């Protein structure tokens, strides 16, 4: 069988919170592989370490508070410990990030348009006019109406769901090799959830983007993920192809997670997204 090279490979990731009483382990021995065009789902109860893991991959954890050990390789390039400036060039361009809390992703004092255009221009050679056009097209693809007007607004003038869609538009506009999506649909109503899932699916099929999808919504996971990793208390306890995991969970914890919420019977992933 032909195996595709990994775009993002995480080996032996350990994360600990620094405290006066020493390091408090939050994430232990995590190994993850993201391949082009594939979606890896990450599930696990609240507090199990999903967000901390995703923040570590982006090198967004505060080094004064957290200790991150292990290898995080993007196309073979080590990200862990990379200087801030070099990492900034990768974030957004090579790795798109959809944060669990959209408010944190924006600066309150600049308009949406300002921040969007600035992000595009930082990472591409595009002029102002083309950057504005790209921003507007991306906002439209997220079902956001009157994008030109929207660009003139400030983050606090938008609802959580709208901000979430703007953030997704920004993270997708540069067609990154990797997208890390932390609960991308949680703040959205059903129509917009579907739109986001479709866009993520389009990104992976059209651009071959590798996606890490964190969600507590097993319906979302079953629709989009190819493989699923299950996290419990900072450790991956089980990882399998999505249909195997849903049909034949091995670990007791996975069985409990699946029982906690009724899941739609598994069909061929994503065919159901087409409406
Ligand atoms: N800055 C921090 N300092 C110390 N501990 C932290 C910090 N941020 C998170 N934690 C702890 O790390 C653990 C994992 O939190 P994390 O946010 O990754 O969970 P999660 O799986 O994303 O949960 P949820 O499903 O609720 O989003 C929790 O025990 C949390 O209290
Ligand atoms: Ni989280």
Hey, what domains does the chain have and what are their CATH numbers? 8-260 (3.40.50.300)
Q: Are 148 and 136 in contact (CB under 8 A)?
A: yes
CA pair distance 50, 29, nearest whole angstrom: 13
CA pair distance 15, 55, nearest whole angstrom: 10
pLDDT score of 264:
53
Q: Phi, psi at residue 18, to the nearest 5°?
A: -80, 135
pLDDT score of 268:
43
* Cα separations in angstroms, 175 against 61, 108, 135, 210, 267: 24, 25, 13, 11, 28
Closest ligand to 16 CA?
1
Among protein residues, the one whose CA lies closest to atom 18 of ligand 1: 49
Which numbered atom of ligand 1 lies nearest the CA of 53?
18
Q: How far is the CA of 174 from the centre of ligand 1 (A)?
A: 29
Among protein residues, the one whose CA lies closest to atom 8 of ligand 1: 52
Q: How many CB atoms are closer than 10 A to CB 121? A: 16
Residues of the chain with pLDDT under 50: 265-275
pTM for the predicted model, two decimal places = 0.89
Pocket of ligand 1 (CB under 6 A): 17, 26, 44, 46-52, 65, 100, 216
ipTM above 0.95, yes or no: yes
Q: How far is the CA of 70 from the centre of ligand 1 (A)?
A: 19
| Helix (H) or strand (E) segment spanning residue 92 | none
Q: How far is the CA of 26 from the centre of ligand 2 (A)?
A: 13
Closest ligand to 98 CA?
2
CA pair distance 77, 9, nearest whole angstrom: 10
Among protein residues, the one whose CA lies closest to atom 30 of ligand 1: 47
Q: Are 236 and 212 in contact (CB under 8 A)?
A: no
Q: How far is the CA of 47 from the centre of ligand 1 (A)?
A: 5
Q: How far is the CA of 46 from the centre of ligand 1 (A)?
A: 8
Q: Are 239 and 256 in contact (CB under 8 A)?
A: no
* Cα separations in angstroms, 247 against 230, 243, 256, 263, 275: 15, 6, 13, 11, 26
Among protein residues, the one whose CA lies closest to atom 16 of ligand 1: 49
Which numbered atom of ligand 1 lies nearest the CA of 183?
27
Which numbered atom of ligand 1 lies nearest the CA of 216?
25
For residue 227, which of 216, 219, 237, 238 has the smallest C-alpha distance? Answer: 238
pLDDT score of 186:
84
Closest ligand to 47 CA?
1
* Cα separations in angstroms, 94 against 42, 124, 129, 242, 259: 20, 12, 23, 26, 37
């Amino acid at each position: 069988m032909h195996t595709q090279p990994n775009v993002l490979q995480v080996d032996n990731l350990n994360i600990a919170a620094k405290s006066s009483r020493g390091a408090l382990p939050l994430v232990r021995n995590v190994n993850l592989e993201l391949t082009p065009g594939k979606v890896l789902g990450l599930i696990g109860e609240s507090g199990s370490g999903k967000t901390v893991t995703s923040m570590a991959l982006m090198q967004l954890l505060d080094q004064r508070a957290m200790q991150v050990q292990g290898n995080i390789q993007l196309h073979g390039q080590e990200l862990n410990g990379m200087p801030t400036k070099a990492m900034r060039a990768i974030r957004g361009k090579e790795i798109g990030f959809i944060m669990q809390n959209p408010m944190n992703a924006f600066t309150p004092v600049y308009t949406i348009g300002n921040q969007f255009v600035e992000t595009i221009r930082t990472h591409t050679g595009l002029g102002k006019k083309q950057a504005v056009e790209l921003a507007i097209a991306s906002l439209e693809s997220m079902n956001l109406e009157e994008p030109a007007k929207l660009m003139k607004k400030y983050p606090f003038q938008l609802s959580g769901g709208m901000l979430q869609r703007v953030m997704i538009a920004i993270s997708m506009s540069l067609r990154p090799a990797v997208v890390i999506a932390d609960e991308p649909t949680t703040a959205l109503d059903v129509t917009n959830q579907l739109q986001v899932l479709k866009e993520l699916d389009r990104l992976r099929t059209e651009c071959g983007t590798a996606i890490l999808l964190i969600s507590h919504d097993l319906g979302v996971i079953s629709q989009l993920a190819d493989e699923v990793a299950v996290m419990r208390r900072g450790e991956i306890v089980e990882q399998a192809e999505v249909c195997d995991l849903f049909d034949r969970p091995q670990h007791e914890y996975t069985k409990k997670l699946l029982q906690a919420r009724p899941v739609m019977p598994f069909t061929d992933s994503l065919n159901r997204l087409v409406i």
